[in-house]
Amino acid sequence: MIRTKVLGLGSYVPDRVVTNEEIAFLNDQHVRQATQVTETNDQWIQQRTGIKERRYVPNDGATWTSDLALEASKRAIADAGLQPTDIDCIILGTLSPDFHFPGTAVVVQKKLGIADKTSCACFDIRQQCSAFVYGMQMADAFIRCGTYKRILLIGAELHSHALDYSTRGRDVMVLFGDGAGAMVLGPMETDDPKQGVVYTAAHADGNGAMDLCLKIFEIARLPYLDYDPRDREQNALMYPKMDGKRVFLNAVRGMVMSTQAALAKTGMSWDDIQWFVPHQANLRINEKVVEVAKIPPEKVLNTIEFYGNTTAATVPLTIDYWRQQGKVKKGDRVLSSVFGSGFTWGAAIFTV
């Protein structure tokens, strides 16, 4: 029987570290000011979120989301022992695409140097923090059906350019960082249902759509974009808006339910799973999920403390980080549960 195997893994974060202390002094250009710009502080951020620092791209206007995706992709393809020309499908999850259209997957395809060589299929998916699980479900279906044989699944985000560096935007601004993670998936012949991608489930509840959103424009209006982006009285639409408490409660509920369902539906227990890799939105969310779902704490992997929330990238980035630290080993089985804007949520079990 054909099942899906993780063939390679890679990640990338930019070099610039922005601490909680520094972020309070940054202006829109990411330049440290002499006086504090945003009323926030290290103690508040750490207590409420667990975040100590995050990574930002250079502020020279030369880095795109596709560049972060490209670096992670090159590493994942090399890790799989493949060449970029072996890839026959790209699935890219991002909420911070290079531009409104075309999607960013085609830009990555071009930057990989395979656009004219393979003309491979390119998908952008828009499931925000749940994109990696949604993308893995798509990839798994494509591979089992024989549609594609070497799928590059990427989560990449350049958040730092679209945050509100002011007290107005502080609830969201302090949470997010830049980064990317990628996986290469392909077929394997096995009758062992516990190998490769064992399980994926994806869910959504559109009632939560406006509880965490970044509009930028409203297409129903004429003109569809009608504000001065430099005028703080008018430009709120340019920045993410969140009802933090509603998102927090729904995130705990969605991740607990999907974690429990993943185990129940596969007949697995924590004895079968080496690592729990939750989406990295807030350390307090993850601690609550671990407590309520009774997950062995020693199996939990986080990176939120030093990477912040990198949305679609958090799952592969966290697995790859802990693999580089020597914790995650080849063949380990991971249960990942995610929750994000939409609302969207889900879970996956797979061996790495």
Exactly one of 9, 76, 92, 212 binds ligand UT7 (CB under 6 A); which one?
A: 212
The residue (of 36 and 324) whose beta carbon lies closer to ligand UT7 is 36
Cα gap 203→340, rounded to integer Å: 11
In angstroms, give the least distance from the CB of 40 to ligand UT7.
3
Cα gap 116→120, rounded to integer Å: 9
Q: Report residue 130 as tokens.
A: 């749940």
The residue (of 6 and 163) whose beta carbon lies closer to ligand UT7 is 163
Exactly one of 49, 73, 94, 302 binds ligand UT7 (CB under 6 A); which one?
A: 49
The residue (of 36 and 190) whose beta carbon lies closer to ligand UT7 is 36
Tokens 């924590």 belong to: 270
* R_g over Cα of the chain: 20
80 phi/psi in degrees, rounded to 5: -80, -5
Residues in CB range of 136: below 8 A, 6 or more apart: 153, 183, 185, 197, 200, 348, 350
Stretch that binds ligand UT7, among 63-71, 141-149, 245-253, 259-267 (CB under 6 A): 245-253
Query: How distant is the alpha carbon of residue 170 from its chain centre?
Result: 21
Cα gap 303→279, rounded to integer Å: 10
Q: Report residue 343 as tokens.
A: 């609302």
Q: Which residues are catalytic?
A: 129, 279, 309
In angstroms, give the least distance from the CB of 312 to ligand UT7.
10
229 exposure class (CB count in 10 Å sphere: 0-12, 13-18, 19+): exposed
Stretch that binds ligand UT7, among 55-63, 67-75, 183-191, 239-247 (CB under 6 A): 239-247
Exactly one of 91, 138, 174, 197 binds ligand UT7 (CB under 6 A); which one?
A: 174
Stretch that binds ligand UT7, among 26-34, 44-52, 136-144, 231-239 (CB under 6 A): 44-52
Residue 51, interface with ligand UT7 (CB under 6 A)? no
7 phi/psi in degrees, rounded to 5: -95, -25
Tokens 């022992």 belong to: 81
Stretch that binds ligand UT7, among 39-47, 75-83, 90-98, 107-115 (CB under 6 A): 39-47
Exactly one of 57, 214, 251, 252 binds ligand UT7 (CB under 6 A); which one?
A: 251
Residue 340, interface with ligand UT7 (CB under 6 A)? yes
Strands 16-19 and 241-242, how do they pair?
unpaired
Residue 52, interface with ligand UT7 (CB under 6 A)? no
Strands 179-189 and 2-12, how do they pair?
antiparallel
**DSSP letters for 181-205:** EEEEEEEEE---TTSSEEEEEEEE-
Residue 281, interface with ligand UT7 (CB under 6 A)? yes
Residue 25, interface with ligand UT7 (CB under 6 A)? no
The footprint of ligand UT7 on this chain (CB under 6 A) covers a number of residues equal to 20
Subset of residues 297 to 336 that bind ligand UT7, contact rule: CB under 6 A? 309
The residue (of 77 and 313) whose beta carbon lies closer to ligand UT7 is 313
Residue type, 116: D
Exactly one of 12, 248, 322, 350 binds ligand UT7 (CB under 6 A); which one?
A: 248
Summarize as ranges the residues that interact with ligand UT7 (CB under 6 A). Answer: 40, 44-45, 48-49, 129, 170-171, 174, 212, 244-245, 247-248, 251, 281-282, 285, 309, 340
